[in-house]
A and B are shown apart, each in its own frame.
Chain A
């Protein structure tokens, strides 16, 4: 590298009209160091690539390459036989995708996933925002205590949580049905009834996830200047008006971030049904990712599973673009 560089100071005039005082000091102390001004734009470009190289190599090897490999996989019938003997793999073109779009199980999984994301997502965000507003209110005491309590479910192991919730949902001994009985409501078979299983999973997910969004909302709320509220109050805006005219617009970027992150996460629903219901009853809680896992890693239909992964990718991409567009229009 140093051989290609011009001699010390030769190009400095082109880059900087005069050396910065700090550079002179450095030069005096470390006479062997190069004048920073000596670098041509192409040198800078090279250096940038050099610094970026490790990250780029990692992204290429661990992201682009696997994505490319699974794209190739999705047009083959790579399966359990191919694992034992790779030459048995056949090129099937779009057959995996055709099969997928003709599979009632896939459409059901897609419906379930949308149900979870479109009902569970907004509810989670609403609960997060609600608790964030409460914890940001001036009257509330022991804020950090409540923040910790509300955040705890998010950092608790899902498997442990699911086992506890299975007890809560128990038809006979569950505290939920116990409470309902006091209201005169007949016991609900939460996890055994195809109509109630998904709401049960959504309820648990809200409880499990709202703490994280809540913290982000609190940070967003604290960034809103108090004088805006004061001004609004002087103008005669009540609490509701203040929320819609000041809080919500200024929370816009936070709301976008939270909704995108939540939605992407919710479209990838897997662990909750995997632990709680194994996708049942009657596949009512089988999500796209759970189906992909079963096809790929239980039945070893890797080609088919790769096709599912790509369809899910497209779904999430479209949903994210829609959200960005909505947000832009709103702004």
Chain B
């Protein structure tokens, strides 16, 4: 999931990047990172995250289980989704769950909070915005999965074989990215092959937002071969090359032009992702993000297991994240001492 991507960008000064992600909403915002003026030589460090391949999150569902519950297509709103899970749950045994949502994954709580309109961080990434109503709304929805018994509070390392669980009907939905399409095609047995489909993330009022995860192409300011690097980036962003890249790796192209090819037009599984590309929102562009994201799910786990109340959880989340951002606040203050 691009664990290193942020830090890789940070090593060395980065001034030029190539944002070629097609949908305007998905275009990663560039964000200025403060540098110490005394040694920066007037060179600013910029951080860009132009996703080469936009890995939105989606749900794979056992479409027959949904059909049994009376659904022809996947619900589009949170309310419908909740109702659907309730129906599915009522038809399942106590040890079966409508959705598999591991407690040690950050994209789910973050995605729900973004859908609820939370900026996650406030004041240009200086402080956490976890006690604000928007984050709380998303967080409550997240906790609801466990509180209402839609998901079992397991960590991803406890799930030994996701595909078997699908085949046995122990789970009906799973939120993941398009890289799983190939896995599902290869690993589900033939009986289950006819029973699965991808769907776009539901939202509060209609289709929901999604995240652009994945790798980025960046060009370093100190690069000795800017021209050559630029040529490579230009080459990598050609629709035909993106298509080839998809065939080789299964990573979906971010450019609309590449999607017009028949490879995608005839592929029912990738359709949901094409749809989701229009509703991709950027994550907070701070180098501390990996740590913040992990802290979010760790706090989530405390709330899920009722080690803390929701109020306590969100307060301590703000406190911890604010402590993590201390250096950032200091550097930003150094950069603009007067304003």
- Residues of A whose CB lies within 8 Å of any CB of B are 77, 79-81, 83-88, 90, 166-167, 170-173, 191-192, 194, 276-278, 280-283, 298-300
19 sample A-B contacts, Cβ–Cβ < 8 Å, listed by A number? A80-B10, A81-B10, A81-B328, A81-B331, A84-B35, A85-B36, A86-B39, A88-B35, A88-B331, A170-B158, A192-B153, A192-B158, A194-B305, A277-B157, A281-B155, A281-B305, A282-B301, A298-B290, A299-B290
Q: Output the least CB separation between A309 and chain B (Å).
A: 19
B257, CB-defined interface residue at 8 Å: no
B268, CB-defined interface residue at 8 Å: no
Q: Do A300 and B7 form a contact, CB below 8 Å, given A81-B327, A84-B13?
A: yes
B 318-339 to A, binary, CB cutoff 8 A, 1 in contact else 0: 0000001001101100000000
Q: Which residues of A contact B34 (CB under 8 A)?
A: 81
Q: Which residues of B contact A191 (CB under 8 A)?
A: 155, 157-158
A interface, by DSSP: helix, strand, loop or mixed?
A: loop
Q: Report the separation of the CA atoms of residues A194 and B10 in the bound assembly, to the nearest whole angstrom.
A: 36
Q: Which residues of A contact B33 (CB under 8 A)?
A: 81, 84
* Contact present for B155 and A280 (CB under 8 Å): yes
Q: Do A87 and B36 form a contact, CB below 8 Å, given A79-B327, A192-B158?
A: yes
* Contact present for B39 and A85 (CB under 8 Å): yes
Q: Report the separation of the CA atoms of residues A194 and B158 in the bound assembly, to the nearest whole angstrom.
A: 13
B154, CB-defined interface residue at 8 Å: yes
* Contact present for B35 and A283 (CB under 8 Å): no
Q: Which residues of A contact B331 (CB under 8 A)?
A: 81, 88
* Contact present for A83 and B10 (CB under 8 Å): yes
Q: Do A84 and B12 form a contact, CB below 8 Å, given A276-B157, A280-B301, A282-B305?
A: yes
Q: Do A87 and B305 form a contact, CB below 8 Å, given A298-B291, A299-B291?
A: no
Q: Which residues of A contact B301 (CB under 8 A)?
A: 280-282
* Contact present for A80 and B158 (CB under 8 Å): no
Q: Report the separation of the CA atoms of residues A280 and B12 in the bound assembly, to the nearest whole angstrom.
A: 34
B227, CB-defined interface residue at 8 Å: no
* Contact present for B39 and A81 (CB under 8 Å): no
How many residues of chain B are within 8 Å of chain A by beta carbon? 38
Closest 6 CB pairs of A and B: A299-B291, A84-B10, A87-B39, A87-B36, A80-B287, A88-B36
B 296-331 to A, binary, CB cutoff 8 A, 1 in contact else 0: 001001100101000000000000000010011011
Q: Which residues of A contact B266 (CB under 8 A)?
A: none
B13 closest partner in A (C-beta): A84
* Contact present for B155 and A84 (CB under 8 Å): no
Q: Report the separation of the CA atoms of residues A280 and B3 in the bound assembly, to the nearest whole angstrom.
A: 19
* Contact present for A83 and B157 (CB under 8 Å): no
* Contact present for B160 and A166 (CB under 8 Å): yes
5 new A-B pairs (CB below 8 Å) besides A84-B33, A282-B301? A79-B327, A84-B13, A87-B36, A281-B305, A282-B302
B72, CB-defined interface residue at 8 Å: no
Q: Report the separation of the CA atoms of residues A81 and B325 in the bound assembly, to the nearest whole angstrom.
A: 11
- Residues of B whose CB lies within 8 Å of any CB of A are 3, 7, 10-13, 33-36, 38-40, 45, 95, 103-104, 153-155, 157-158, 160, 287-288, 290-291, 294, 298, 301-302, 305, 307, 324, 327-328, 330-331
Q: Output the least CB separation between A100 and chain B (Å).
A: 13
* Contact present for B158 and A171 (CB under 8 Å): yes
Q: Do A172 and B13 form a contact, CB below 8 Å, given A280-B301, A282-B301, A283-B298?
A: no
Q: Output the least CB separation between A294 and chain B (Å).
A: 8
* Contact present for A84 and B11 (CB under 8 Å): yes
A281 closest partner in B (C-beta): B155
* Contact present for A85 and B157 (CB under 8 Å): no
Interface centre among A83, A172, A194, A299 (most CB of B within 10 A): A299
Q: Output the least CB separation between A204 and chain B (Å).
A: 13
Q: Which residues of B contact A300 (CB under 8 A)?
A: 7
* Contact present for B327 and A77 (CB under 8 Å): yes
Q: Which residues of A contact B10 (CB under 8 A)?
A: 80-81, 83-84
Q: Report the separation of the CA atoms of residues A79 and B7 in the bound assembly, to the nearest whole angstrom.
A: 11
Q: Report the separation of the CA atoms of residues A87 and B331 in the bound assembly, to the nearest whole angstrom.
A: 11
A169 closest partner in B (C-beta): B158
Q: Output the least CB separation between A321 and chain B (Å).
A: 35
* Contact present for A277 and B36 (CB under 8 Å): no
Q: Which residues of B contact A83 (CB under 8 A)?
A: 7, 10-11
Q: Do A167 and B305 form a contact, CB below 8 Å, given A83-B11, A88-B35, A299-B288?
A: no
Q: Report the separation of the CA atoms of residues A80 and B288 in the bound assembly, to the nearest whole angstrom.
A: 8
* Contact present for A278 and B155 (CB under 8 Å): yes
Q: Report the separation of the CA atoms of residues A72 and B266 in the bound assembly, to the nearest whole angstrom.
A: 60
Q: Which residues of A contact B95 (CB under 8 A)?
A: 172
Q: Output the least CB separation between B155 and chain A (Å).
A: 5
Q: Report the separation of the CA atoms of residues A167 and B45 in the bound assembly, to the nearest whole angstrom.
A: 47
Interface centre among A80, A277, A282, A299 (most CB of B within 10 A): A80
Q: Which residues of A contact B7 (CB under 8 A)?
A: 80, 83, 300
Q: Report the separation of the CA atoms of residues A299 and B321 in the bound assembly, to the nearest whole angstrom.
A: 13
Q: Report the separation of the CA atoms of residues A84 and B40 in the bound assembly, to the nearest whole angstrom.
A: 11
Q: Which residues of A contact B39 (CB under 8 A)?
A: 85-87
* Contact present for B154 and A192 (CB under 8 Å): yes
